Every structure is written in structure tokens, then in C-alpha cells.
Structure 1
Amino acid sequence: MAIVSLCFILRGPWVAIVWAGGEEAQRSPRSTPVRPDRTSASGVRDDDLDTSRSEIRPLIERFTVDLGSLNRFYTIPISPARRERLKTFYTEWLQRLEEVNFEALSLDGRVDYLLFKNHLEYLLRQLDIQARQIAEMEPLMPFARAIIELEEARRRMEPIQSQHVAERLALMKRQIEEVRRAVEAGLREGRSDGQVRGSGSGGITPIRVTRTVANRALQTLQSLRMTLRNWFNFYHGYDPLFTWWVSEPYQSVDQTLGSYMDFLAQRVVGVRMEEMALGGPQPGPRRGAGGPQQPTTGEARPPVPRPGDTSDIIGDPIGREALLVELAREMIPYTPEELIAIAEKEMAWCENEMKKAARELGFGDDWKKALEYVKTRYVEPGKQPELVRDLAREAIAFLEQRDLVTIPPLAKETWRMEMMSPERQLVNPFFTGGEVITVSYPTNTMSHEAKMMSLRGNNIHFSRATVFHELIPGHHLQGFMTARYKPYRNLFSTPFWGEGWALYWELLLWDLGFHKSPEDRIGALFWRMHRCARIIFSLKFHLGEMTPEECINYLVERVGHERANAEGEVRRSFGGAYGPLYQAAYLLGGLQFRALHRELVESGKMTNRAFHDAILREGRIPVEMVRAILTRQPLTRDFRSSWRFYDLGRR
């Protein structure tokens, strides 16, 4: 593969010299050049290569690497300097885009222009939202600015004044003690109606705070504590004067800060601090719908979950205004309320189909009894890997027999399997996929109740409806293709494309009769109901209409989840590692692709294979932009999303 890539990059008559290899080949200009239609030993033909020529691609690639440099330098998420630097950076790139002659661009160039502009505008809006959320936390951490200034001065390699630093640390310790007393006073007065606020008189101004804001502040303090520790270790032992002046004040501040964090965790948030560990999701506001968020230096993770305990599930509802910002970024021209109505309509269809399958099994209209029966049909411990292997092969054969999508031989060859640890199953009770499918199943260390819930939740028929979602044609195939075609568009990655594509195949395979037995149909319907429920509970949570506990109960009562699996689902949804629209994106993205399939394939304009191959070669972008490409839609500089892909008046 590396040889082929070199050939493609170098081009021209000297390509074959490099391809041939060896000292003699390097000296000889008479080597035969590669023919345009040549296929390499790996089976890769020229028409298998990404030859796209978008005029905006170089701008996107440069922006991506430059942003990476800034993010690696400005590592403190709540830093005002970071926020101002990024605001300037995004604004300058928007101005650069304005200089482009849009009318002279190719279709690919116009699509990339609009994607890039949409992304930059979204990032600027997020800076404003983040600033508001940081302001909510500031009364709980008035000393944060001092930590930020110390670290940023070190990053700028400014000379350090050790005695002055020791004095700043002593002041910081007093500030931490004062704010703790203020929060204690606020607790004595009782929690407020939702805002951090101070009131009263007599020396201490009480601070009353919600659990959500306190939890956000706690995550941020965890990050700041690590930042201060890294700052101290940079000088300690290397600078004798620093070590003499600063060692004791630093240790005192660190202990006081740790005690304050314990207090916030236990008295305000309601979790135990010893359960928290460094290195997980970003503290403070978590934005973007584009999937699991990656940690940066000094960040913190939420409390480690314990079986049967949901006190760690807190979340951070963003409100309707911020949801509309997220939907605009994803090019979804619907309100949250309309999306909930779509989910309710799809849920009703699923329940009707569940009743049909239940009747075939002799349970009448009691589909929940039929679901309980299906949950008892699981393989014995140790046999789940064999089941997953066989289900993956069955799905591939089904796709190839019907010529639904091109599956590169290397994609079929290189997927792998791992087992999910008991700890991870508390957050991911089912499968996760991609090039590696990670399989949930009980282990010997689990309690009997946990073992049974894992067996029942990963039964044969549930698994049959998820393996192809995680592997081929789902996440593994899409990851394989997007690594090879227009990878620069990963900047615009969206779960409405990523999860929507995998979910779309659940819809299509249902329509094509992949699920023949009533047990298999119940397994597939369970997951579709689950995705309907994700839209409803996640949007209602962010609208302030449901609590995490109500979300758990909804999954158990409406969908039929095992309770531990429902807890894991809600914990995953609101733990901070996923954007606020991520869970809603599965079914909504799938419905977008299904609407596009009706428009282009069912109308006879494209074959299934051509349609699916084209989608996989366009990269991880909002589905409306996929539609614009495949329909060759005329695009203007002032394009705004308008595709109403779901008619609430029909099913």
C-alpha cells in the first residue's frame, strides 16, 4: 500500500523508478512507467484512488493542522486567552473564505466552501455558549485565573519570580478557603432555583449552586489541579530558588484544593471524590455532535460508575437555544419538538410491528412478553465470539448476493474482535464497532444479576440486528472508506452521517427481508424502538423536561431494557463524552439516508450499489450535503438548510 501511495503522489514517468525499487532502478530513467489502468499487487486500481480536486481542500487541510497547533498550545479549556485566540483564528478564516470566488468553484468546491463556512460559524457560536457556561462556574472558583496565568506564563517561557509566585499561592489558598465557606453558607440556606448566586450579609456572602453547575465546576477544578501540578513539576528540582520558595505553598494549595473538591463532590454534587480519576472527557461545556470527544492534557473524567448506583449520572442540559445551534450545524431544519414528534410516530409504528411478531409467537398483542421470550434465547458463556463471527459473515453474504454495496476485500479481511471489560459494560452494555468490534458478554467476576442482564441484553436476536451495524456495511466499512476518500472532510464529521449510515442499513435490511423469523424481527424492532427513545429522552433532557432517572425508567418501561443496560445507556448519553445530539442522530440520520434512497434508488435514477458507493466516497458530512452532491443541486454562497426529509403526515 505504501508503494502505491508513493506512485500516486509522485506521478509522471519517474513513478515506476520508485515503484521498482533498488539502487539500479533509482539510476535508470528508462524504467517503464505505470499505465493509467494498472492494478497493483494489492488489488488497488487507479479508479479506486481518491482523485477529488476540490479547490477548497487545501484551505481545509491547512486550517485543520493550524487548529491542531493552537489546541496543543492553548490547553486550558476555560482560558480567556485561548478563547480570544480561537475567536481571532476562526474570524480570520471566515474572512479568507469571503475572498473566494464562489461562482468559479466546482460542485465539490462549493460543497466544501459551505461545509467550512458552516463549521466556522458553529465554532464561533460555541465560544459564546462556552463563555456563558464558564461564567456560571466562576463564583465557585475565583482562584482559577491565577492558575491559568501561572501556566500560560510558563508556556510563554517568561522568567519566573519565585518569591512573588509563593505569595500568589498563599493568596490562592485563602481564596479557596473563603469560597468553601461561602458554599457551606449557601447549603445552609438551601439550593436556589437554578443559578449560582450570592446573597446575604455579615462577612460571608452565601453561594447557592445547582448540582449541574457544581458538577461542571468540579470537572474543571480537576483539570486545573492537574494543570497546577504540571506547572509545579516543570520547575521543582530544576530551579533551586523556585524549589526553596514554592514547595511548601504549593503543597498547601494542592491539599486545600483537594479538600474543597471533596467537599463539592460529596456535599453538592453527591458523588465520592475517590471515585474520580484524571484523563477523561473535557471539563466544562461539551459541544459538538460528532461522537466521542478526545481528552487533552490535564482533563478529568466523571465518577467511575458502580453497579446499581446512578448517582454519578448528572449531565449538563444545554437548553433549547443551544439545541437549535447544534441542529443548525448539522443542517437539520427541524425544531426539537418536531424531532420528538417524529420519534413518537416511529415508536408507534414499531409497537404495531412488535404486536404482529408477538401474535406469530402466540403472545397475542402482548409484545413485552414476546420480548421477554426473545431475551432468553442467548448462547452459553464462551460462545458469543462464534455467534458474532457467523452473524458478520451472514450479513456480508446477504449484501453481496444482492449487489447492494462494494465491499473491498481488505475490509473483509482486517476486522477484528475484542471483549468488553466488566467496567466498560457499565457504560457500554452492548457492542461497539469499527475495525474492531468489542463484544459485551458476562464474565465470571460479575454478580449473578449482572450476568443475567448481560446475557439477556446481548441475546442472539438482539445481536443479529447489531453486528452488521458495527461491522459491514456499518461502522467498519464506513471507517475503511472514509480513511481512503476525502479524509479532509473528517473535520465536518457528524453522527447524523456516521451513526445514521449504520442505522440506515437496519432500515434497509428490514425492508429487504433480512429478518425472517418473528424472533429476529423483534430483535430488530427492539433496537429501532431504542433509537426512537434516544431521540425522545435525550432531547427532553436537554430541554429540561426529563431527569436522568426518568430517562432510565422510560427505557425500561417503554422499550423493555434491562435496568442495568438502561443505566449504562443514560450514563453514556450524559457522561460528557458525546455531544447533545449524538443519541438523536442514529435514527434521524438513518431517516435522512432512507429519504435519499427513495429519491434516487426507488425512483430508478441510481442502483443500490452506485448509491451506497457514492455516499461512502464523499466523507463524513451532513446528509443534506450528500444529497446536494448526488443530485448535483445548484448551490449558492448563502445556502441554508431546507430539506424536510420526513413528512409528519405520512409513514
Structure 2
Amino acid sequence: MRKFLLSFFLFIVISQSVKSQNSEASLLSPFITQYQADENMFNRKYALKRSDEYFKRMETFYTDWLSKLKLLSFDKLTTNERVDYLLLKRDINVDIRALKQNETEFANTKFTVPFDNILIDFEQKRRVGTQQNGKETAQKFQQLIETINKTDKAFENGSLKINPVQANWAQQTVNQHITVFTEAYKFYDGYDPQFTKETKKVYPEVLEALKNYSKTLGKSAKLSIAKDDGSGIIGNPIGRASFLDLLNDEMIAYTPEQIEAIAMKEFAWCDAEMLKASQQMGFGNDWKKALEKVKTAYPELGKQPELVYELANEAINFVEANKLITVPQLAKEGWRMRMLSPQEQQFAPFFLGGESVLIAYPTQDMTEDAKMMTLRG
């Protein structure tokens, strides 16, 4: 237990020290800030993410940013700035790939929303504040209802065939239309008398049709959701190619098979070390008994904070004595401790670390089972 705690504190000390050393000003900082701000702005402005307009605008945005990065002289950048450059470029390329994947899904399911042209036209005019004729808009809304209901019926009777994954995507698209359409309508409702008078009755009918269609799609979409295999982790397989992309994004130069082989090798090492520890503790090869012994080894009541403070300083002394890393004085002085509440201990039953070390220990009002769970870590 003590070795585990010490290892944890070593990780915290090194992490905080690296953060401190990498805090120097970077030429890329304004670029990173601007990129994030601009991207967020576009995502707010173009609330409907399932439209040709959005995909075209964001593709231009990402392409322009890659061109902007090319204007920087990489050779003249400091080491930290080069890291920022490569990470920003990586993030942009990741965003481009995600955009293309979404655009492909959009193209493959566009037939499920044959009525979206009316909704998109209505939202685009709202965006620039164009006054919309009430009678004409009411007629379009009526046409919209008919097309939605027709599509809904076609899906119900099987003449419109889509698989569960497409249904899931289509439902998300319809729900997005509901949100955007509602906001766009409220922009005019009550502020333009002629618009309000002519559309007041038909507007809720449009919403009802959209919501009914979303529910219909949802029945099939449920089948696309992966079921719990007992691990408690629910998700859909992404496939080897996408997994390789994710590994590449994280700059992990290994294939899934290589990672699995490394994991099995390290797992075997862990098994061997566990047996060594079990033997040293006098339990022979019965590592389960040794583990149970460790689980019941904990400080006396009220002594946990003192142990945490002691181990933190031991970790600092260890890395400095072995000249592993330089720990800035402010990093030594700035870290602090606080106790985790009983509620927090339900999902963090040991302790968490960073600039603040959050300590888990039983409180008087916890149940006996909860107390023992915290003590066992």
C-alpha cells in the first residue's frame, strides 16, 4: 500500500513539475486560442450541424487554418512551440476527419429528411433577420407537416427502409431540426404581428409532426445501441481503421495487436511480481491472501492526512535525491490537501491528485460498508 501511494505521489510531483516548466510563453498560444474561439463561434452560429451549409463552411475554416500554420517557420520555433505547432495541426486534422465522417453519414441518411429544405430556408432567413410573410410561411409549414407525416408513414409501413444505425443518425438530425426550428420561430413569434397571426395555429402542428417522426425513428435507433456485455462499458465498435486513426492521433506508434502483446507481457510481469510480494509477506503463492492483507492495512483513524503529507515529501525527496527531475520551489510550496466528501468517495474511493491532493477517509455518518470500501481503496 505504501509503495503504491509513493508511486502515485511521484507521478503527481513529476506531472506538476513538467507543467511548471512548460508554462513559458509560446508564439503558438494566440493561434491556439483563436482557433478554439473561432471554431466555437461557428458552432454557435451554425446551430444546425446537419446541413450542406455547415459542412462547406467548416471545411473552408479548417483548410484556411492549415494554410495559416504553413506560413509559420517551423525551424525558427522553440522546442515547446514546435510541440504546440504539431499538436494544433494534429487537432485540426482530427477535426477535418470528424467533419468528413459526419458529412458521409449525413449524405447516407439525407433521404430520411426530405423536408429539411423548408426548415433550413426558414432558419437561414431568421439568422439574417429577414421578415417572413405570415401567409406564405403558414403554407410552407402546412406543406412541411404533410411531407413529415408522409415520411413517417413510409418508415412505419416499411416502404422506407433504413438500418438501426441510420435511424439513430436520422433521429439525431430530426431532434436538431426541432431545436433550431423552435428557436427560429420564437425569434418572430409575438414580435411580428402578421407572422404570429398566420402561423400561431400551424406551428405546434409542425412540432408535433417532427416529434412523432423522431419517436418513430427512435424505435429502430434503439437497436443500434450496444448492450452491456457485463463490463458496464457500453459502446459501438469503431473498427480497426478508425482505431488506428485514434492511435495515430495520440501519436502512439503501435498497432492494436502490438499493444495487446505488450499488455499481455506486462500483465505476466505483474503476476510474477505479485507472487514475489506474496512470498515475501509469508503467504507463499496465495496472492489472494496477501492482497486481502494489504486491503486491511490502513492508517489509524485521523492519521490519513499525516501519511499523505509524509509520502508527498518522500516523493519530492526521492526525485531530487536521484536527480530525476527538478522540482520548482513553488511546486513544493503550492500543493495542498482537502478531504473528499462521502458523496465524492462513491466515485473516488481512494484519493485524487494534482495541485490539490483529495483524500478519501471514512466519516462518522457513513455506513459501515461504505467506510470499509474507502479504507480498502
Equivalent of 2:253, from 333, 347, 372?
333
Q: 1:110 to 1:161 in 2, by over 3 A?
A: same
Residues 433-452 of structure 1, C-alpha deviations (whole Å, 9 max, x = no match): 65677889999xx9x9xx95
- Aligned equivalent of 1:207: 162
User: Structure 2 counterpart of 1:326, which letter?
Assistant: L
Structure 1 range deviating more: 162-171 or 77-86: 162-171
User: Structure 1 counterpart of 2:148, which letter?
Assistant: I
User: RMSD of aligned C-alpha atoms?
Assistant: 4.5
Look up the SS of the partner of 1:164 in the other structure: helix
1:252 Cα offset (Å): 1.8
Residues 15-61 of structure 1, C-alpha deviations (whole Å, 9 max, x = no match): xxxxxxxxxxxxxxxxxxxxxxxxxxxxxxxx999543x44444334
- Aligned equivalent of 1:228: 181
1:217 Cα offset (Å): 4.2
Look up the SS of the partner of 1:78 in the other structure: coil
Residues 475-523 of structure 1, C-alpha deviations (whole Å, 9 max, x = no match): xxxxxxxxxxxxxxxxxxxxxxxxxxxxxxxxxxxxxxxxxxxxxxxxx
TM normalised by structure 2 equals 0.71
Look up the SS of the partner of 2:335 in the other structure: helix
Q: Does 1:162 pair with 2:134?
A: yes
- Structure whose CA Rg is larger: 2
User: Structure 2 counterpart of 1:207, which letter?
Assistant: I
State the alpha-carbon separation in 2 of the partners of residues 440 and 181 from structure 1. 56
TM normalised by structure 1 equals 0.45
Q: 1:270 to 1:320 in 2, by over 3 A?
A: closer
User: Structure 2 counterpart of 1:393, which letter?
Assistant: Y
State the alpha-carbon separation in 1 of the partners of residues 235 and 265 from structure 2. 27
State the alpha-carbon separation in 2 of the partners of residues 137 and 430 from structure 1. 47
Q: Is the contact made by 2:335 and 2:356 (CA closer than 8 Å) also made in structure 1?
A: no
Q: Is the contact made by 1:420 and 1:438 (CA closer than 8 Å) also made in structure 2?
A: no
State the alpha-carbon separation in 1 of the partners of residues 168 and 188 from structure 2. 31
Q: 1:390 to 1:270 in 2, by over 3 A?
A: farther
Q: Is the contact made by 1:151 and 1:227 (CA closer than 8 Å) also made in structure 2?
A: yes
Equivalent of 1:399, from 294, 298, 315?
315
Q: Is the contact made by 1:180 and 1:260 (CA closer than 8 Å) also made in structure 2?
A: yes
Q: 1:49 to 1:341 in 2, by over 3 A?
A: closer
1:339 Cα offset (Å): 1.9
1:269 Cα offset (Å): 0.4
User: Structure 2 counterpart of 1:315, which letter?
Assistant: G
Q: Is the contact made by 1:172 and 1:253 (CA closer than 8 Å) also made in structure 2?
A: yes
Q: Does 1:460 pair with 2:365?
A: no
Q: Is the contact made by 1:417 and 1:437 (CA closer than 8 Å) also made in structure 2?
A: no
User: Structure 2 counterpart of 1:205, which letter?
Assistant: L
Q: 1:313 to 1:110 in 2, by over 3 A?
A: closer
Q: 1:57 to 1:360 in 2, by over 3 A?
A: same
Q: 1:441 to 1:461 in 2, by over 3 A?
A: closer
State the alpha-carbon separation in 1 of the partners of residues 148 and 72 from structure 2. 51
Residues 548-574 of structure 1, C-alpha deviations (whole Å, 9 max, x = no match): xxxxxxxxxxxxxxxxxxxxxxxxxxx
Q: In the comparison of the two structures, how many residue pairs are matched?
A: 349
Q: 1:346 to 1:151 in 2, by over 3 A?
A: farther
State the alpha-carbon separation in 1 of the partners of residues 357 and 140 from structure 2. 51
Whose helix fraction is larger, Structure 1's or Structure 2's?
A: 2
Percentage identity across paired residues of the two chains = 33
Equivalent of 2:102, from 130, 149, 152?
130
Correspondence list, 1:132-531, <5 A:
132-144=104-116, 146-186=118-158, 204-210=159-165, 213-266=166-219, 268-269=221-222, 314-359=234-279, 365=285, 367=287, 371=291, 389=305, 392-402=308-318, 403=320, 405-406=327-328, 408=331, 411-413=334-336, 417-418=340-341, 420=343, 458-462=373-377
User: Structure 1 counterpart of 2:260, which letter?
Assistant: I
- Aligned equivalent of 1:600: none
State the alpha-carbon separation in 1 of the partners of residues 335 and 146 from structure 2. 62
Which of the pair has the greater relative contact order for Cα pairs under 8 Å at 6+ separation?
A: 2
State the alpha-carbon separation in 2 of the partners of residues 218 and 379 from structure 1. 54
Q: Is the contact made by 1:162 and 1:242 (CA closer than 8 Å) also made in structure 2?
A: yes
Q: Does 1:91 pair with 2:63?
A: yes
State the alpha-carbon separation in 1 of the partners of residues 211 and 153 from structure 2. 15
User: Structure 2 counterpart of 1:460, which letter?
Assistant: L
Q: Any stretches of 5+ residues in structure 2 without a counterpart?
A: 1-19
State the alpha-carbon separation in 2 of the partners of residues 227 and 185 from structure 1. 29
